[in-house]
Structure formats: C-alpha cells, structure tokens
Structure 1
C-alpha cells in the first residue's frame, strides 16, 4: 500500500469515527470497539474529564494521556499531531494557561469540525485547529515548545518525514512527548499483519529500537520509551475476533505490543 493510499484510508476511517462518535463512541485507529477497550479506556482522570464536553471524550481514539505525561508549563506553545476530536488540545490549553497556546493539527474535515465544536463548548480561547498532514506541518520552524500526539504516528506511512517535521517546528530545547503503539521484539510477518489491524490499523506500529533509531536520525537526543500498557493475549482476542488463526495470533502477540510514552528533545 502506498503512502497516499494509507493516508486516504486513514482519512476515511477517521471521518467515519467522527460521524458516529455521538452514537457509539470511538476506538483506537478510528474503529468501533466494545466498552472496556483496553487500548482507549481509562486514560484520563475524573478531574480532567469532568469539565470536558461529552463528545470530546467519546471521540478520544488514543492510547495514552500525553498532556499529563508531557509536564506542560504555563506559557508554552503545544502542538498536537493528529488532534482528532480535540480532547488533548483542550487539556493542553488549560495546562499552558492564557499566556500559552495549543495547536491541533488534523487532516480530516469531520474531526476538525467536531474539535472546534468541542472547543466552543469547553470555553477555551487559546486554541487553534489547523488542517494539514503530520508529514507536512503548517507551522514555521522553531515555533513550538512541545509536540504531543496520541496514537497517531503509528498510522503514518512516512514516519521518518513526520519525525523530521516535528524536529523542524520545535524550538531548540523543545520536547517531543507522544503516546504511541510500539512493538517489542520480532514477530512473524503474517502475525504482524493481523495484529496491525488491532494496534496499528493501517501502517502499523514501529518496533522499539526502530523508533529510537528514527528519532536519532531526525536529530533528537535524550530518547526514552516508557511502556504505559502492555497488551495480553486476552486483549488481542477482543480485537481480532473473526480473524483466521485467532488463538495462535493472540498468543504470539501476548506482551509484544504496548502503549508507550515516547520522549525526546531537540538540542
């Protein structure tokens, strides 16, 4: 599948997710999933969600809580890559305060419309949603203090370009602080293709050492990959229902796929 095909498939799936969010909620990578989804559930504390619009929480398709883990400070400028329904942008805006700013970047018109409506309902002013692709960020170089993202980089067909763009727009000393799906260790190609429907959906997750290498190649330093949730065979069965060889695939996936917090700095 070409990068353009991946991009269009992602765009279509997330447009569908935005349209159905008020009916049945969302799931990692834009798919419908049952309640209790081990990837997307229980990522935010009650104090964070209490004042959020219901649609913002329902449209959360992520695998972590980068706004909390990024340790945002008042006055900082934050960019969320693949901002979806806007939950992490709204939370970031509140953390950086009126002297700071939070940008959300998304390529899907339906998600952007949902995010702007959620912004209006939340009453936050220091937010701007931008239409664009994470492989070509529509901001100048050295303009952002912190880049966050929530289970989106794994969907890109050109992750090297995403990381180079992130490096470009960060200020010197800026922080890359994303939640993403990461693979640990080798896995047979046929198994990996099936599990990608669960963990990566379109382009698939990077192996941990590969993620580190790509960040280094983009120019980043002080790279850390911190597991936040490691998925079990039982988790995999819920997402792979109907796939041939389910039991074998689930057992081989056991403990190899994880949500992780990926940190790095621009020198």
Structure 2
C-alpha cells in the first residue's frame, strides 16, 4: 500500500498515540475482512489488501511458502518486518506470547512448532484484530492458541508464564517501549527468551519524521536508536542482548512511504535477549 494521505500531527500523549495506531490497524482488519482497501494513511508496516501481494511481502520478510500454507486463509495480511519464528528456536511444549498478534499469523506458525503440549497466547489492543484472530483460530481448528485483548505495555498475562516472547514490527509502535520490555521480562520464566523482528533507527530521526502520526502508525516514525533499545532492555533486566540490523530490509521498507527517504533513517532488525535463570537450593 502506498502513502496516499498528507502528514498528520504527532499525538500529544500516550493514549492519543495508542488510539491513532489502534484506528489505523482497525481499518486494516476491517478492510481485510471485507476485501476492500483500508485507506490507511501509510503502509501500516507493509500491509496490502491483495492476498497475492501479501504473499510476496511475506516471502520477502523471510517466511517460506510452507509457512504461508500452514496458516488459515486471511491470517497473513502482509504485516511485519521480518520472521520472529526464524530466530525463536521454538520447542515442543513451550508457551509462547506474541506481542501485537494482529490476525494471528505468527501465533499459528508458533503452534506448529510447540505442538499439542505447548500453548500460544496472542495479545493485541485492537478489538477488530482480536476478533479476526479468534475467527481464524476457529477456522483453522487450533485448540492450543488463544487471543487476549490488551496493551503490550500491560500484558493480561500472569508472571513467569512464557518460555518465549515474540513480536513482529509492533514494539516500535508503542509510546512507552521501556514498559513493554519490563512487562515482557515479567511474563517470561527464568531462562526465557525474547525473539523479535522490529524496525529500528540507525541515526536520529528528523523531527518532521518523529512528528508524523502516519509514519508512526506505519512503523517508522517512532523507531528508536539501537543503543537506546539496548539500554531499555538492560534496564528491564535482560541479558545476552543482540540487535542485528538487516540491510536488505531497505528494499521493502522503502515501499512503505514512497518518496520520503525513510531508509536513510530506519531498517528492520532482529532483537534477541534472555531472562537469566536462577537457582534456589538445588532446584536447578
């Protein structure tokens, strides 16, 4: 989808920021359900209303044709900037939490990895996306995946539940990234790991880019510098932090906002970290 609308003013507070993002992705979910154009002001992380285009987008992000064939029709909306499953190394029996699960695409792929003994929980703040994901789960007859409505800064999940937290091009949308990482740390078990694909800034974003609500909803205007993300994650308690920019991602990111030279400032990256385990009187 190309950028078709003019620039909009940046939100003045966290709630306004979230509402702008929520409205943009509600349009995407509704349009995808109805087979219509979403009218999204920017690319919304590369989404399209055409299933063939979404297939092309997803294969460019690192998904295989086998991945795309596994998920229910309509789950892949071309959203994202990478393939978190590729770095998550999921194992049978694990519990996975997906931050910003959208239509459920990455959750359904994770279910295949963790098997019937595992469990996958998707969290999204857009009611239309949660409804769509739940319908897709019914369509695909998935019994060990669930979708919860909530903000990724305040996950509706108990402490120490997850073996792995994944996310695909969502944390950069948050107005409070440090809190996202703190809550991800909270829900992980000791020894649990973070496996994320997201957009990061390679240089400081110009003010006009940071103040464009359309670019924020499109996964670009709110991107953080790599060193800032590393500091947020360390402060949250994570160790073994590794952020690897993917230069090849500029080939698809440039299509998100044609003519705006966004790839001079942002790139997709894989983000990994670990919540170190702890021993207690021989329990390890």
- 178-187 or 18-27, larger mean C-alpha shift: 18-27
Distance in structure 1 (CA, Å) of the matches to 2:253 and 2:101: 26
Given that 1:199 and 1:205 are in contact with CA atoms closer than 8 Å, whether structure 2 keeps it comes out as no
Residues 119-155 of structure 1, C-alpha deviations (whole Å, 9 max, x = no match)? 1122221111111110111111111100000100011
Unaligned runs of 5+ in 1: none
Query: Where do 1:73-112 residues align within 5 Å?
Result: 73-112=91-130
Residues 4-35 of structure 1, C-alpha deviations (whole Å, 9 max, x = no match)? 00111111111111000142588534865884
Q: Specify the alignment match of 2:17 in structure 1.
A: 6
Q: CA deviation at 1:61?
A: 1.4
Q: Specify the alignment match of 1:72 in structure 2.
A: 90
Q: CA deviation at 1:188?
A: 3.1
Q: CA deviation at 1:42?
A: 2.8
Aligned residues: 257
Residues 205-229 of structure 1, C-alpha deviations (whole Å, 9 max, x = no match)? 1111111111001110000012235
Q: Specify the alignment match of 1:182 in structure 2.
A: 200
Given the alignment of the two structures, is residue 154 of structure 1 paired with residue 172 of structure 2, yes or no? yes
Q: Specify the alignment match of 1:132 in structure 2.
A: 150
Q: CA deviation at 1:62?
A: 1.0
Residues 160-197 of structure 1, C-alpha deviations (whole Å, 9 max, x = no match)? 11110001110011001111001112343235546971
Distance in structure 2 (CA, Å) of the matches to 1:39 and 1:262: 21
Unaligned runs of 5+ in 2: 1-11, 277-284
Q: CA deviation at 1:266?
A: 0.6
From 193, 217, 228, the counterpart of 2:246: 228
Superposition RMSD in Å: 2.8
Given the alignment of the two structures, is residue 208 of structure 1 paired with residue 209 of structure 2, yes or no? no
Q: Specify the alignment match of 1:28 in structure 2.
A: 44
Residues 42-79 of structure 1, C-alpha deviations (whole Å, 9 max, x = no match)? 3310111113222011x241111112221100010000
